[in-house]
Amino acid sequence: MLPSSVHLIPTTVRLVQSWIYNSSRSFMDLKSLLSSLSDFASLSFAESWDNVGLLVEPSPPHPVNTLFLTNDLTEEVMEEALQKKADLILSYHPPIFQPMKHITWKTWRERLVIRALENRVGIYSPHTAYDAAPQGVNNWLAKGLGACTSRPIHPSKAPSYPTQGTHRVEFNVNHTQDLDKVMSAVKGIGDGDVSVTSFSVRIDDEEHVRVSVNCTQKALMKVVAFLSQNRQLYQKTEILSLEKPLLLHTGMGRLCTLDEPVSLATMIERIKRYLKLSHIRLALGVGKTLESSIKVVALCAGSGRSILQGVEADLYLTEGIPLPGAETTVF
């Protein structure tokens, strides 16, 4: 968490709104601040194509007294951040997306990196990690629809596996085999990359012991190689690829079911009021009117094209262009 003395000062640069977090009492180490940001929204929530996290890091140690927030880091915004003596800039959209082969004064993105390093200013971008977070952008948008239940359209996966390893190997040991010897041999594989459990099962009226081995990708072939040396063990071996569990309240997009249906006109007014907008763009589906009933809304921060495609809803809320064949889209 940020120190209690942190206060918020709104400022504007043309059409780009930014904020300054400033603590007059104490500094916060960059690593500690990054840990706090991760507690709010783990970078593991971000889409695989995104470029999130600490993009520019001054040489350590780097205490942070002033945190500068912006939606997009342009050269004008960088100038304001330097005037405010920012130590770290949190830019929602990543100013660095494609790999850079050189850092020169040629392009504005390269100049941002140069200015940041010259002035010992870090740059951090959360982007889709903040979209997917349980209290992130998509959830915030859903609150403007009225009373509803919502779920992620594309749930995020947990950052780690629930058990040790990425694979599970299971096989049976009958009474004619030395269980202790088999267990000892399997445990000795992989130098700590395997965990072994066992339980009794009855197969064809005969008692067996089912051995379950969780192992890493690296240790998997060693386990299989060991089992293949014993035909009785190997012939009924099962290999399972483990999946990271889904996070039910975290992910891209939201599919929202209203407690009570409302007209499209009513929903438009709700969205405008919530977002404090005087107008929004609307693409009406064929045969739809402002009196059409809205019960299910699919939304996504950003264009949302890949997220919303194929999702059935009465209304789509997105920043992008209308989806082909969509009923009604607000953007």
The C-alpha R_g of the chain, in whole angstroms, comes to: 27
Type of residue numbered 19: W
Type of residue numbered 251: G
**What whole-number distance in Å separates Cα of residue 10 and Cα of residue 74?**
17
CB 92 within 8 A of CB 17: no
**What whole-number distance in Å separates Cα of residue 151 and Cα of residue 251?**
9
Q: Where do the H-state alpha helices sit in the chain?
A: 30-40, 75-83, 108-118, 128-132, 137-143, 179-187, 217-227, 231-234, 264-275, 305-308
Q: For residue 122, give every residue at least 6 positions away whose Cβ sits within 8 Å of its Cβ, in sequence order, or none.
A: 30, 54, 56, 57, 58, 62, 64, 87, 88, 89, 116
CB 137 within 8 A of CB 130: yes
Please tell me whether the peptide bond between 3 and the residue prior to it is cis, using omega within 30 degrees of 0: no
**What whole-number distance in Å separates Cα of residue 89 and Cα of residue 56?**
10
Binding residues for a divalent metal cation: 93, 131
Question: Measured at the alpha carbon of residue 136, what is the angle toward residues 48 and 256, in degrees to the nearest 5?
Answer: 95
User: Tokens in use for 241?
Assistant: 């690829």
| Count of residues in the chain | 331
User: Tokens in use for 10?
Assistant: 């709104």
In this structure, the number of other CB atoms found within 10 A of the CB of residue 89 comes to 28
Binding residues: 93, 131
**What whole-number distance in Å separates Cα of residue 115 and Cα of residue 70?**
17
Q: For residue 211, give every residue at least 6 positions away whose Cβ sits within 8 Å of its Cβ, in sequence order, or none.
A: 170, 171, 172, 173, 182, 183, 186, 196, 197, 198
